[in-house]
Amino acid sequence: MTIAFFSDGVENPANLARIHDVARLLGASCTTSMGGRLIAVENTDNAGAIYGRKPLHGDATIAVGNERRGLSQKTLAAADETVTIPVQSRTVTTLNVAAAAAVAGWYLVRGSGGQASATRPENRRPALLLVGDDHVEVGSSLRSAAAFGFREVLLEDRRAGWFAGPSAVRREARAAARRYKNPLLVRPAMLSWAARYDEVVVVTPSGTETPLQRAHLAHGRRQLIIIGAQPDEVVAKATGRVKIASLALERMESPPLRLVASIALAEIARQVGRRRPFPGPWRGARYEKALELSDAGEALLVDPSDLMDF
């Protein structure tokens, strides 16, 4: 099986470089032409979710599109299949294009179970701690966290400048996070906070540890997922409570945080699930009693200054 990534109109050189990183991490390549089965990654009405599908077989090209316009109509028309990455935010509805390539490629190559459903998925969502030293990678990772339904993220900022960097660095980081429409609460944190949790899962890009999809990532707020740190750093802070989960990517020195984090966040979202649909048609609220207006003579008028006597 040969997998290739096709960048359809991607303009930002940094995004193109990160898409090449995606290809390296997945043992794939980048191409300027479309060969084999063409799979478009785009939010369209006929797109199927990346969750709940079997692994790809045979040669395939995965197409991702322009940062603003998405895929061209020519590519969409030529696609054998269109897939979408389900998000849960009402305001941050897309990922960075390289992050989207990583998430789509990882699930297409490996396959997965379907997305869970739950009465209260917010109670199943774990706490999240990101560790980063590059402002754009941190920003893009925070964008993904918001898109996948997180409302709060802990961040150990290792000179990435998110909290106290130069103004130009902070502006670029916040632009990458889509901060103007991203309601995510970002709190400064340290790895030592891991000791506060009942269970800690460290996500690693590669290795032979438990595959991420077999790790349990929906144990609620007493579980902490850490992305961007080395396992031995965490073990030293929370001995006995640390589990390691691997994305099983190809080995690469310092893989970009946004790629690793976005895949892990997508898998957390799959396991946490969406709110279970309300059974049956909505019939509106019904009440056993209704308010009735009293006669004017039965009303008690109270001056606001007299309210303290009640």
Of 24, 204, 28, give the one whose Cα is nearest residue 108. Answer: 28
Residue 236: predicted pLDDT:
87
Average pLDDT, the chain: 92
The CB-side HSE value for 283 (13 A sphere, CA atoms) comes to: 4
Mean pLDDT along residues 149-169: 96
Residue 206: predicted pLDDT:
97
Q: How far apart are CA 177 and CA 165, in angstroms?
A: 15
Kindly state whether residue 57 falls inside one of the protein's structural domains: yes
Kindly state whether residue 129 falls inside one of the protein's structural domains: yes
247 and 138 in a common domain: yes
Q: Tokens representing 190?
A: 């340290």
Residue range 185-202, pLDDT digits in tens? 999 999 999 999 999 999
Q: How far apart are CA 145 and CA 115, in angstroms?
A: 17
Residue 248: predicted pLDDT:
97
Kindly state whether residue 246 falls inside one of the protein's structural domains: yes
State the residue range of the domain holding 217: 117-275
Q: How far apart are CA 68 and CA 63, in angstroms?
A: 15
61 and 125 in a common domain: no
Amino acid at 267: E
Kindly state whether residue 8 falls inside one of the protein's structural domains: yes
Residue 306: predicted pLDDT:
61
159 and 188 in a common domain: yes
Tell me the sheet residues that pair with 157.
132
Of 168, 185, 167, 7, give the one whose Cα is nearest residue 96. Answer: 7
Residue 214: predicted pLDDT:
96
144 and 54 in a common domain: no
Residue 168 · residue 176 · CB < 8 Å: no
What one-character DSSP code corresponds to residue 187?
Answer: E
The band of 1, judged by pLDDT with boundaries at 50, 70 and 90, is: confident
Dihedral sign computed on CA atoms, order 71, 54, 274, 256: negative
For the cut 80, the answer to whether the pLDDT of residue 303 exceeds it is no
Q: Tokens representing 193?
A: 């906070």
Residue range 105-142, pLDDT digits in tens? 999 999 999 999 999 999 999 999 999 999 999 999 99
The percentage of the chain sitting over the pLDDT mark of 90, rounded to a whole number, equals 85
The position carrying tokens 């898409």 is 19
**Could you count the other beta carbons within 10 Å of the beta carbon of residue 119?**
9
For the cut 60, the answer to whether the pLDDT of residue 94 exceeds it is yes
The CB-side HSE value for 192 (13 A sphere, CA atoms) comes to: 1
Q: What is the CATH number of the domain that holds 175?
A: 3.40.1280.10
Range in 22-26, 240-244, 258-262, 288-292 the model is least confident about = 288-292
E strand intervals along the chain: 3-8, 29-31, 37-41, 48-49, 60-65, 81-84, 117-118, 127-132, 152-157, 185-188, 199-204, 210-211, 223-227, 242-246, 274-275
The band of 35, judged by pLDDT with boundaries at 50, 70 and 90, is: confident
The percentage of the chain sitting over the pLDDT mark of 70, rounded to a whole number, equals 89
Residue 26: predicted pLDDT:
98
246 and 220 in a common domain: yes
Residue 17 · residue 42 · CB < 8 Å: no
Residue 305: predicted pLDDT:
59
Residue range 196-220, pLDDT digits in tens? 999 999 999 999 999 999 999 999 9
Q: How far apart are CA 1 and CA 196, in angstroms?
A: 45
For the cut 90, the answer to whether the pLDDT of residue 278 exceeds it is no
pTM: 0.89
Kindly state whether residue 174 falls inside one of the protein's structural domains: yes
249 and 136 in a common domain: yes
